[in-house]
């Protein structure tokens, strides 16, 4: 694997490593173990949220030892990127039948909770037996929804993080670790 620096200079700021790829790998394996144990019957469907959930999803499913299938969704917020733009819409839907299946939604970060709340409701109406949420990063500060993710990798406080799927203006998704954005 190529080496990535712990600090990455930006035009007006810096990215600083906060969770290494080794720590992520360890935690992902633990989460995969918990998921496998909770689903011995193997009626499991793992749904990745594009694009941010892709890195986590790819690593996580390789640590799940029970039979399972996968699919992807892509979601977008209506209107601008402000916090008041509350409408979520699906721009790419699932393509497999999830009726009677235990579904786990995999995403990069749980922030306000709005996006995943919407998705969980929708997957339930499609007839899933159960719908759970698995996120790599749990960010509590801006939570507006009352429900929590079922499987959580790491807790992060205030601040904006990138890497391992998470982007800043579509960049940095390829970084193997999680970095905090520090602006000058």
Q: List the catalytic residue out of 43, 97, 111, 184.
A: 111
Told to check if 163 binds Mg ion by CB under 5 A, we report: no
Name the region of 182 (left: φ>0; alpha: ψ -120 to 50; beta: rest).
beta
Give me the DSSP letters along 26-59.
HHHHHHHHHHHHH-TT--EEEEEEETTTHHHHHH
User: Going by C-beta distance under 8 Å and a sequence separation of 6 or more, which residues neighbour residue 37?
Assistant: none
The answer to whether the peptide bond before residue 51 is cis (omega within 30 degrees of 0) is yes
Shortest reach from residue 37's CB to ligand IMP, in Å: 27
Q: Which stretch binds Mg ion (CB under 5 A): 14-22, 37-45, 50-58, 89-97?
A: 50-58
Closer to ligand IMP by Cβ: residue 128 or 136:
136
Told to check if 52 binds Mg ion by CB under 5 A, we report: yes
The binder of 154, among ligand IMP, Mg ion, none, by C-beta within 5 to 8 A per type, is none
Q: Helix (H, G, I), strand (E, B), or coil: what is residue 92?
A: strand
111 is known as an active-site residue: yes
Closer to Mg ion by Cβ: residue 101 or 177:
177
Shortest reach from residue 184's CB to Mg ion, in Å: 26
Told to check if 177 binds Mg ion by CB under 5 A, we report: no
Residue found under tokens 């922030």: 111
Closer to Mg ion by Cβ: residue 51 or 65:
51
Burial class (CB in 10 A: 0-12, 13-18, 19+), 103: buried
Shortest reach from residue 114's CB to ligand IMP, in Å: 4
- Binding stretches for ligand IMP (CB under 6 A): 52, 107-115, 139, 160-162, 166
Nearest Cα neighbor of 35 from 55, 57, 64 is 64
Task: Report the catalytic residues.
Answer: 111
């Amino acid at each position: 694997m190529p080496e990535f620096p712990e600090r990455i200079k930006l035009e007006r700021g810096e990215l600083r490593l906060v969770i290494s790829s080794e720590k992520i790998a360890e935690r992902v394996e633990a989460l995969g173990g918990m998921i496998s144990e909770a689903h011995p019957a193997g009626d499991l469907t793992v749904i990745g949220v594009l694009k941010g959930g892709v890195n986590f999803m790819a690593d996580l499913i390789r640590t799940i030892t029970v039979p399972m299938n996968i699919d992807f969704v892509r979601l977008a917020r209506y209107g601008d990127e402000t916090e008041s733009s509350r409408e979520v819409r699906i721009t790419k839907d699932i393509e497999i039948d999830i009726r009677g299946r235990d579904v786990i939604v995999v995403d990069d970060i749980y922030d306000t909770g709005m996006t995943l709340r919407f998705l969980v409701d929708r997957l339930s109406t499609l007839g899933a037996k159960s719908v759970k949420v698995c996120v790599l990063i749990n960010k509590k500060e801006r939570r507006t929804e009352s429900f929590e993710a079922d499987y959580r990798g790491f807790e992060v406080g205030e601040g904006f993080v990138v890497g391992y799927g998470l982007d800043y203006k579509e960049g940095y998704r390829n970084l193997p670790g999680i970095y905090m954005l520090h602006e000058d």
